[in-house]
Amino acid sequence: MNGTPDTPNAAHSDPGAPHTDPKTAHIDLIQAIHNLDALPAMPVIAQKLLALRMDTDEGEYEVLRLIEHDPQISAKIIGLANSALIGATRTITTVRTAAMLLGSTRVKSVATGIAIMSLMNHAPAGRLNMQDLWLHSFGIAFGMLAIAHEMPSTSRPQDESAFLAGMLHDIGYLALAFLDPKSSNKLHARLAAQSDQPSLVIEQEMLEISHDELGAELARHWNLPEEIITVLRYHHTPDDAAAEAGRPLVRMINLTEKLLPAFGMNEYVATSISDGEWQALGIDPSRAEEIKVRVNTQAELAKQAVLLASS
């Protein structure tokens, strides 16, 4: 990867310097996006974990070995396995035992998320509440797993893909904090003051670019799969024809955000869900209330993971 989290952006070396014309702010951001040194690099352990497959014994063994060799991540995984929400009948003391309880795929996903979460230690201080962002991201990621398990096996994405997409879907807010701290601060002040207005509307008005677009560019910088890039770009507009490469994940995120509208970061979304939205995922709409309960239970598990990861 090119660049490091604390590499300054030459175009914005003085975060307090005002734009000469607010209407050209988006041009500055678009140019800054292509200055890859201004964007944070994905942590090395996250890169390694994402590159490993879980459908072989060798891949699973290597994932657990990587986690075991990272004291901070392994401690947090073990702590999660011992949390009250998991309800283990005995004390968990090793990563391998935690994997038996939580499932190896979930352990890999959570470990990847914790590794990426370390970027918040390098982000510029400002109005973006990193704890709330990661709580929201993990909540959506875990909630998507509940929805995935209700989908037909023929169209259900792998848990690992669903978790990664959910975890990264709002990473554009982090990209903005790195690229232009001043604009990030103004945006989040406005989002807080107008919490009943859709975020995309406010972003387009202020920046003429959205966190969806910024997140997709960061995903390209990280060399993530085209499916994930598409999900980041269109998770608020899943019916866009260009979102096809990201389905069904892009629809799953959109639906999960409606089920968890105030979980973590307060990002306004309309909460009404039509029968057609459930049916597009192959889910019987009559199961909506039961699924909502499961999604909220998974979100509480996410809260445990985030509290452990940030402690």
| pLDDT greater than 90 at residue 138 | no
**Count of beta carbons in the 10 Å neighbourhood of residue 119:** 20
Cβ proximity of 285 and 275 under 8 Å: yes
- Whose tokens are 């979100």? That residue is 299
* 201 vs 223: CA distance, rounded Å: 28
pLDDT of residue 33: 66
Q: Does 96 score more than 50 pLDDT?
A: yes
**In this predicted structure, what is the pLDDT of residue 9?**
41
Provide DSSP, 36-85. GGGSPPPPHHHHHHHHS-SSSHHHHHHHHHHHHT-HHHHHHHHHHHTSTT
Task: Calculate mean pLDDT across residues 41-70.
Answer: 92
Confidence class of residue 36 from pLDDT cuts 50, 70 and 90? low
What is the per-residue pLDDT across 214-255, written as a single tens digit (0 to 9) for each?
A: 999 888 888 888 999 999 999 999 999 999 999 999 999 999
Put residue 264 in one of left, alpha, beta given phi > 0 → left and psi -120 to 50 → alpha.
left
| Helix pair 249-259, 130-148: axis angle to 10 deg | 110
Q: Averaged over 58-84, what is the pLDDT?
A: 90
Tell which wins on pLDDT, 160 or 58. 58
pTM for the predicted model, two decimal places: 0.82
The answer to whether the beta carbons of residues 219 and 168 sit under 8 Å apart is yes
103 Cβ contact list (under 8 Å, min separation 6)? none
**Residue 20 above 50 pLDDT?**
no
Distance CA 207, CA 205 (A): 6
- Alpha-carbon distance of 19 to 28, in angstroms, equals 9
